[in-house]
Chain A
C-alpha cells in the first residue's frame, strides 16, 4: 500500500469512528453551522463533539503546521481528507474567518510569538475572528481607510469606525486595518493589527440585510488601547498583508458554493418540483436550457478551481487569478440561485412558515447578491484582472 493509500484508509476509519451520525447530513439552516468562539452556543452535543475531535486532530486547518495546532497534512493528504469528508457528507466542523483568512496571513507575516498565540485557538474553534477592513468612506477604494492608530509609547490607541463587519457582535477578536501614517501615500501608511473585541471602547451596532438577517455591523472604536506586540508585520506596511489575505478570501468566496443543494443539481431539483415529460426532460424547456448552461458553466468552473489548486501545488502561485475565481464563482452563484428560485416558482416566495423552513431559499438567494460585493466587488476583480493579468493601462481619471 502506498503512503497515500494508507493515509486514506486511516482517515476513513477515523472519520467512521469520530464523526457523529447527525453530523453526516447537509446543514438545514445557519444554526447548523458552527462558528466556534467564546459565545458559541452549540445546537447539539454532537456538534460540540465533532468540533472538539476535529480541532484536536488539527483537521479544521488540515494544512497548517502541527506546531501551531494544524493537521500538518500535505496537499495530497488534504485532498484525500476533503474527499473522505465529502463521501460521508460530513458537515464542516467549523466555519472560520480565522482559518480561511487570518491564519494564512499570520503564517506568512506573523512573528513566531503571534503564530504560537493565535493559531492554535483558531484551529480548536475557541476564538472567533472578524474582519475590520471596510469603512463608510473606504469600500472598493479600501486603501483610503481612515481609522486612526496612534503610537502612545507603550501601546497603540485606535479611534474610528468600520462598517459591514460580518459577525462583529459575535466575534472575540478582530483583524483590523488602521492608518498609522497620514503623511505617506495612502497604501504606505496602513498597518495590520489584532485586538480583542472585549477591549474597552469597542462597540458594535448590527445592520439588517435584505435577507432579513443581521450578520453584520457597524463597529466603533473609541480610544481602544492595543498592546504593541499585536501589530502584525512591519509598521505602515500592512497593505501587503491586507492584499495577501484578500487573495485567500476571494478564493474562498469564489469557491464556497458548489451550486447544489444537498448534493443535488439544479436540474434534478427543478424536475422534482415541476415534473418531466415522457423523455425525462424538464417540462419547461426554456428553463431547462438555462439550467443546462448554468450547470455546464458550473462544471467547468469546478474544474477550474481544481486546476488552480493543482497549479498551486506545482508551484505556480494563484495571485491575481484569485480575482478571476472570485468574479466568476460569485456571478455564477447568483445565476444558479435565480434558477433555483424559478424552479420552485411561487413556493420559492414563502418567507415564513414551516414548509419553507422560514424562507430558507429566498433568504439564501438574497444573500448570494452580497457574494459579488464582499471581498471586493465584481467590478474591482475585473479591474484587477485587466491590470495585473492582461496588462491593460489604468483608466484615466477625469
Chain B
C-alpha cells in the first residue's frame, strides 16, 4: 500500500483540524488546567466529538460506529496533539474499542454502543509500577463462584476519573514477570470495592490510582480466555502506542512550526535569528527527523488497520521514534525561543509536558527499542 493518505483521509484531517481549531484550541486546555478541572477534559466537547462519529471511529457499524479504519483514528490523534486537545479518545475509542473487538458478544452489546455515543468512557487499568511492564502485573483474579474476585491496585490510569468502565489486567496464576497467567476483564466502575483517587501529573490530564478491594466480576466480563489476557490485550496496547505516536507527531509538528515562525521574527545582533546557521542546521535536522516519524506513523497505522494482531514491531518503531523526536522537538522549541520559552505564558512548556507524559505511557524509548531488538534477533 502506498505510504500516502487517501482523499478520504485528507478530508477527515481537514474536518478534524477545523473542529479542533474552533472548539479546542490550546487556550481551552490551558483553561481546564487553570481551573483545576477534575476531569481534565470537557464532557460536553466529548459529546460533540461523539456526535461527529469520532468516538466510534473504530467500532463496527452494527454497534453504531463508523468502522473507518485505524489510519483515521491516528489522524484525529495527530490533530488533537497539535492543539493539545484533552479527551478520552485514546482510552475509550482507540484502546478499549480495540480490546472489545475480541470480547464476547454480550460485552460488546453492553459497551460498544455506549462508547460510540460518548455516554461511556473506558480507561485502561494496567500499570502497577513506575515503568510500563504488563507482564509484571501482580493484581490478583481469584476464581469465585462463576466469576472472579479482583484484588490489587493500578496506578497512573489515564482518563480514570469519571470513567464508566475499566479494562483490567489481573493475574490468575503464575508470578509477576510471567507473561502467562494473566486475564483481561471489562469492569463496570460502579461495582462495589472499586475506588479511584486522582493523581496530579505534570501534564494536567486526568490520572488516578484505581483500587480493587474484593471486586466481584462475572465470567462474562472476561475478554478472551483465562490466562491469555496479555496476548488478548496486545492489539489494544499497540493501538494505544501507535495512537500516542500520532499524538506526539502532532505535538512535535506544532512545536516545530511555531518555533520556525518565531525564528523568522525575532531579531538579535541586528539580524533575524533564523539566519544564524547554528539554529538553521538544528532546525533542518529536526525537520528530517520529523519526516521519519511521519513515515513510521503512517506505516504503523496502515499495518495495524490491515492486521491488528501482527503490528507489534511497527508499533514499537512508531512509538520509540515518535517519542524520541518529540522530546527533541520540545527541547529545541524552548531552547530556540530563549528566555520566553521558559515562561508559562508560552505554549512550548505545555507541549513539553504533554510530550514527556506521552513518551512514557505504554512504553518509553528503551522499552520499545528493546522489544524491537528482540524481534530482530539481537
Q: Do the beta carbons of B288 and A310 come within 8 Å of each other?
A: no
Q: Do the beta carbons of A385 and B288 come within 8 Å of each other?
A: yes
Q: Do the beta carbons of B374 and A280 come within 8 Å of each other?
A: yes
B291 sits at the interface (CB 8 A): yes
Q: How far is the CA of A111 from the CA of B349 in the complex (A)?
A: 57
**Interfacial chain A residues near B2, Cβ < 8 Å:** 310, 313-314
A102 sits at the interface (CB 8 A): no
Q: Do the beta carbons of B284 and A292 come within 8 Å of each other?
A: no
**Interfacial chain B residues near A151, Cβ < 8 Å:** none
Q: How far is the CA of A289 from the CA of B377 in the complex (A)?
A: 13
B175 sits at the interface (CB 8 A): no
Which of these, A292, A310, A321, contacts B370 with CB under 8 Å?
A292
Q: Do the beta carbons of B260 and A390 come within 8 Å of each other?
A: yes
**Interfacial chain B residues near A314, Cβ < 8 Å:** 2, 4
* Closest A residue, CB atoms, query B320: A296
Size class of B's contact patch? 35 or more
Which stretch, B98-106, B144-152, B191-199, B269-277, touches the partner chain A? Answer: B269-277
Q: Do the beta carbons of B3 and A386 come within 8 Å of each other?
A: no
**Interfacial chain B residues near A297, Cβ < 8 Å:** 292, 321
* Closest B residue, CB atoms, query A381: B284
Residues A265 and B288 in contact in the complex (CB < 8 Å), given A307-B298, A392-B283, A393-B275: no
Interface residues of B in 282-324 (CB under 8 A from A): 283-285, 287-288, 291-296, 298-299, 317, 320-321
Which stretch, A85-93, A142-150, A244-252, A266-274, touches the partner chain B? Answer: A266-274
B280 sits at the interface (CB 8 A): yes
Binary interface profile of A, 34-47, with partner B (CB < 8 Å = 1, else 0)? 00000000000000
Residues A267 and B284 in contact in the complex (CB < 8 Å), given A301-B292, A310-B3: no
Which of these, B274, B276, B295, contacts A306 with CB under 8 Å?
B295
Q: Do the beta carbons of A307 and B373 come within 8 Å of each other?
A: no
Q: How far is the CA of A392 from the CA of B262 in the complex (A)?
A: 11
Which of these, B263, B284, B296, B373, contacts A300 with CB under 8 Å?
B296
Binary interface profile of B, 182-202, with partner A (CB < 8 Å = 1, else 0)? 000000000000000000000
Q: How far is the CA of A280 from the CA of B285 in the complex (A)?
A: 35
B264 sits at the interface (CB 8 A): yes
Q: How far is the CB of A345 from chain B (nearest CB, A)?
A: 16
Q: Do the beta carbons of A392 and B274 come within 8 Å of each other?
A: yes
Q: How far is the CB of A10 from chain B (nearest CB, A)?
A: 23
Q: How far is the CB of A144 from chain B (nearest CB, A)?
A: 19
A324 sits at the interface (CB 8 A): yes
Q: Do the beta carbons of B293 and A300 come within 8 Å of each other?
A: yes
Q: Do the beta carbons of B321 and A267 come within 8 Å of each other?
A: no
B215 sits at the interface (CB 8 A): no
Binary interface profile of A, 82-123, with partner B (CB < 8 Å = 1, else 0)? 000000000000000000000000000000000000000000
B369 sits at the interface (CB 8 A): yes
**Interfacial chain B residues near A268, Cβ < 8 Å:** 376-378
A389 sits at the interface (CB 8 A): yes
**Interfacial chain A residues near B298, Cβ < 8 Å:** 303, 307
Interface residues of B in 235-294 (CB under 8 A from A): 260, 263-264, 271-272, 274-277, 280-281, 283-285, 287-288, 291-294
Q: How far is the CA of A299 from the CA of B272 in the complex (A)?
A: 37
Q: Do the beta carbons of B3 and A267 come within 8 Å of each other?
A: no
Residues A306 and B3 in contact in the complex (CB < 8 Å), given A300-B293, A391-B264, A392-B263: yes
**Interfacial chain B residues near A16, Cβ < 8 Å:** none
A22 sits at the interface (CB 8 A): no
Q: How far is the CA of A292 from the CA of B373 in the complex (A)?
A: 6
Q: How far is the CA of A160 from the CA of B294 in the complex (A)?
A: 46
Which of these, A281, A282, A295, A383, contacts B280 with CB under 8 Å?
A383
Binary interface profile of B, 363-378, with partner A (CB < 8 Å = 1, else 0)? 0001001101110111
Residues A395 and B277 in contact in the complex (CB < 8 Å), given A291-B373, A382-B285: yes
Q: Do the beta carbons of B369 and A311 come within 8 Å of each other?
A: no
A67 sits at the interface (CB 8 A): no
Q: Do the beta carbons of B321 and A296 come within 8 Å of each other?
A: yes
**Interfacial chain A residues near B276, Cβ < 8 Å:** 395
A156 sits at the interface (CB 8 A): no
Q: How far is the CA of A372 from the CA of B374 in the complex (A)?
A: 31
Q: How far is the CA of A350 from the CA of B318 in the complex (A)?
A: 38
**Interfacial chain A residues near B293, Cβ < 8 Å:** 300
A327 sits at the interface (CB 8 A): yes
Which of these, B272, B294, B295, B377, contacts A280 with CB under 8 Å?
B377
A358 sits at the interface (CB 8 A): no
Q: Do the beta carbons of A393 and B274 come within 8 Å of each other?
A: yes
Q: How far is the CA of A193 from the CA of B229 in the complex (A)?
A: 69
A293 sits at the interface (CB 8 A): yes
* Closest B residue, CB atoms, query A279: B374
* Closest B residue, CB atoms, query A324: B288
**Interfacial chain A residues near B372, Cβ < 8 Å:** 292, 295-296
Residues A382 and B284 in contact in the complex (CB < 8 Å), given A292-B373, A306-B3, A393-B272: yes
Residues A324 and B287 in contact in the complex (CB < 8 Å), given A303-B296, A307-B295, A391-B264: yes
Most buried by A among B272, B284, B320: B284
Binary interface profile of A, 254-282, with partner B (CB < 8 Å = 1, else 0)? 00000000000101101100001000111
A369 sits at the interface (CB 8 A): no
Q: How far is the CB of B272 from chain A (nearest CB, A)?
A: 5
A394 sits at the interface (CB 8 A): yes
Q: Do the beta carbons of B285 and A281 come within 8 Å of each other?
A: no
Q: How far is the CB of A384 from chain B (nearest CB, A)?
A: 8
Most buried by B among A270, A293, A327, A390: A390
Residues A267 and B295 in contact in the complex (CB < 8 Å), given A379-B281, A385-B287, A392-B264: no
Which of these, A265, A300, A310, A391, contacts B378 with CB under 8 Å?
A265
**Interfacial chain A residues near B292, Cβ < 8 Å:** 297, 300-301, 303-304, 328
Residues A303 and B285 in contact in the complex (CB < 8 Å), given A280-B377, A314-B2, A392-B264: no
Q: Do the beta carbons of B283 and A304 come within 8 Å of each other?
A: no
Interface residues of A in 297-323 (CB under 8 A from B): 297, 299-301, 303-304, 306-307, 310-311, 313-314, 321
Q: List 9 A-B contacts (CB under 8 A).
A: A267-B378, A268-B376, A270-B378, A292-B372, A303-B292, A314-B2, A328-B292, A390-B260, A395-B277
Interchain residue pairs A-B with the least CB separation, the first 5:
A267-B378, A385-B284, A303-B295, A386-B280, A307-B3
Given contacts A288-B373, A386-B280, 6 further A-B contacts (CB under 8 A): A289-B373, A293-B369, A306-B3, A307-B294, A328-B288, A386-B283
| A-to-B contact residues, CB < 8 Å | 265, 267-268, 270-271, 276, 280-282, 288-289, 291-293, 295-297, 299-301, 303-304, 306-307, 310-311, 313-314, 321, 324, 327-328, 379, 381-383, 385-386, 389-396
| B-to-A contact residues, CB < 8 Å | 2-4, 260, 263-264, 271-272, 274-277, 280-281, 283-285, 287-288, 291-296, 298-299, 317, 320-321, 366, 369-370, 372-374, 376-378
